[in-house]
Amino acid sequence: MEAEYIIVGAGSAGCAMAFRLAEAGRSVIVIEYGGSDAGPFIGMPGALSYPMNMPRYDWGFKTEPEPHLDGRRLATPRGKVIGGSSSINGMVYVRGHPRDFDTWAQSGARGWSFADVAPYFRRMEDWHAGVHGGDPEWRGQGGPLKVTRGTRTNPLTRAFVQAGVEAGYGATADYNGERQEGFGAKDATIWRGQRQSAAVAYLRPALRLGNARLVRALARRVVFEDGRACGVEIERAGRVEVIRAAREVIVAASAINSPKLLMLSGIGPADDLAEHGIEVRADRPGVGANLQDHLEIYVQYSCPEPVSLYRYWNLAGKAWVGARWLLTRTGPGASNQFESAGFIRSAAGVEYPDIQFHFLPIAVRYDGRAAVKGHGFQIHVGPMRSPSRGRVWLRSADPADPPRILFNYMSDPKDWADFRTAIRLTREIVAQPAFDRFRGTELLPGAHVQSDEELDAAIREHVESAYHPCGTCRMGSADDPGAVVDPECRVIGVEGLRVADSSVFPRITNGNLNAPSIMVGEKAADHILGRAALPRDERAPWEAPNWRTAQRVGDGARMADAAE
C-alpha cells in the first residue's frame, strides 16, 4: 500500500486535510483505528452523552491521580471512531477569540495570527446567517462544515441571555464574529437535526473523490529511511505491515495520541525514550509537554416551573424524543441543548474574555450519568486561560498501551482565585430579574458554600474536564528548543513528517476546540500543498472600550468585580 500522503487519524484536522489534499488531486491514505460512526447515538445531537461513554467510540483515557484534586482520576474522552472527537463531542462551535491567535504568532507561530487564520475559518464554514441572524461579513458560507443555531424555544435558554445583559455584560449577535464578549445564541455543528462531524463534512466527500482511502488499523510508529519519514507501521487483523508515503506522513491523532506516536517513533525527550528502550531519532523535550485543558464546574439550580428538559428524563420521554428524531429529525433530540452562551472578563484590566459559560436547561452531569431529581438548570463555567501545564508520556514501548496523562490541574494559585471568581459571577447572573420565575435552590455548589475555603473544597470535589486537551506538540520557531513543529507544521529535526491537530496549539483558545482544530487542518493543507496562504483579514475585532477600568461593559453602577 502506498500513497503520496499518509494521514494518521480521521479526526477533526485529519479529515479536513484528507479532503483538501484529495481535492487537489493528491493520493491520500487515512489510518484510523476506530470504527464506523453510523447509528443514532452519534447522529442524534440530543444523545451526545452516550458515545463519549461507549468503549466502541471512545479511547477511554483517564488521567493519573491529579495531585491538586485530592488524587481524582478524571476522564479524558477521545474519539475512537471515524470523525474522531468531532463524532462524540458536544457539537459546540467556537472559533476562539482573535487575541488567542495573535498570541500564537507572538509566541513563535508566525503566520498564525487572527488576520492569518480568519480566512481559513471562513473557508471551512457554511454558516446559515440568513436563518439565524448574526454577522455575515465575518462568517463563511459554502464551506464543507455546516454551522447553525438551535431554536432557543426553551424559556430558560432565553432567560440566561437576558440575565447576562441585566448584569451589565451586554449582548453579542455572534460570538464567532466581530464581538465575542457578551451573551447570545450558541453556534453548533448541527444540520437538519443531525451531527455535522468532520467525517460527514470532510472525510466522506474526500473518499467520494476516488483518490483518498481509509484504512482501519492501529498506527504503531512512523517509519524512517535516511532520516526521512517514509511510511507508517500499522497493525490490523493481527498482522504488522507498513504503508508507504511517497511524499509525507502527517500525524493528526489528537493531543493525546499524536505525542504518543511521535515518542514511539523516537521523537521526544531523549531520557524518557531511552528508559523504554526506544532509539532516539530527534531529542525534542517539548513532545508531550505543554498539555492544557479547560476545567469547568456545573453551577446547578432547581426550577419551580416545569419548563426544563427534565420532563423527558424518563423512559417514556426518552422513547418519544428518540422516535421523533428518527422519524422527523426534529424535537429535543435535534439539538445539543447548548443553545445560549456567554463570554465575560473576570476583572477590570483583563483585555478580552477569560470566562466561558455554557447554559443547559436541565441539571445533569455532562456525561448523562446523574440527573438531579426534578426540574432545574445548570451553567457550566470555568476560566479559559489556566497557567497550569501538564504532560503526556509513554507507559511503555508497546503501542497498544495507553499513554500516561497528567494535566496537573489547579497547580497554580491563580487557578483557585479565577475559579472562585467564576462561581461568584455566575451566582450574580442567576440573581438577575430574568431568572426570578425560574430560580429555585442552588443545588451545586450550594448556597451555604460562600467562603474561599468552602468554594475551594467544592472546586476540588466537583470540577470536571471540558474535554479540550491541546498543546502537546507545540508550534513555534525552528530554533525554539521547546517547540515540536515549525509554523508549517513540520516536525523539527526530521524530514517528511508533520503534525497538525490540537496538539500544535501553543496556547489553548477561548472556548471549545473543534473549530480551531479543523482550522489547523485547513491551513496545514495549504502548507503541505505548497500553496500561498489565503489573503490576510486585517479587520480588528471588537474590544470593550472600558476594559482597563471596568469588569463589564454596561452597568456603570456595578462595574466592580462581583467577587469583591
pLDDT in tens, 39-51: 899 999 999 989 9
* Known catalytic membership, residue 375: no
In this structure, what C-alpha cell is assigned to residue 558?
456595578
Query: What are 476-483's contacts with CB under 8 Å, separation 24+?
Result: 476/107, 476/108, 476/109, 476/506, 477/108, 477/110, 480/108, 481/285, 481/286, 482/285, 482/286, 482/289, 482/290, 483/108, 483/286
Report pLDDT for 366: 65
475 annotated binding-site participant: no
Residue 462's pLDDT band, with cuts at 50, 70 and 90, is very high
In this structure, what C-alpha cell is assigned to residue 377?
438548570
Report pLDDT for 365: 74
89 annotated binding-site participant: yes
Tens of pLDDT, residue by residue over 364-408, are: 876 666 667 899 999 999 999 999 999 999 999 999 999 999 999
Report pLDDT for 562: 38
In this structure, what C-alpha cell is assigned to residue 255?
493531543
First to last CA, the chain: 64
- For residue 163, pLDDT over 50 is answered with yes
Tens of pLDDT, residue by residue over 367-377, are: 666 667 899 99
How far apart are alpha carbons 356 and 186 in whole angstroms?
12
What pTM was estimated for this model as a whole? Answer: 0.96
In one-letter notation, the amino acid at residue 349 is G
177 annotated binding-site participant: no
Catalytic residue among 128, 462, 468, 527, which?
468
Strand (E) or helix (H) holding 283:
strand 282-283
DSSP 504: G
How far apart are alpha carbons 437 and 427 in whole angstroms?
16
Tell the CATH topology of 2-529: FAD/NAD(P)-binding domain (3.50.50)
- The full length of the chain comes to 564
**Residues whose CB falls within 8 Å of the CB of residue 449, separated by 6 or more in sequence, listed in order:** 455, 457, 458
90 annotated binding-site participant: yes
User: What string of H, E and C letters represents the secondary structure of 382-440?
Assistant: EECCCCCCEEEECCCCCCCCCCEEECCCCCCHHHHHHHHHHHHHHHHHHCCHHHCCCCC
Decide the pairing of beta strands 267-268 and 282-283. parallel
Tens of pLDDT, residue by residue over 149-161, are: 999 999 999 999 9
What residue ranges do the domains of the chain occupy?
Answer: 2-529
Is 491 in a helix, a strand, or coil?
Answer: strand
Q: Is the peptide bond before 51 cis (omega within 30 degrees of 0)?
A: no
How far apart are alpha carbons 139 and 148 in whole angstroms?
12
92 annotated binding-site participant: yes
Residue 557's pLDDT band, with cuts at 50, 70 and 90, is very low
How far apart are alpha carbons 95 and 124 in whole angstroms?
11
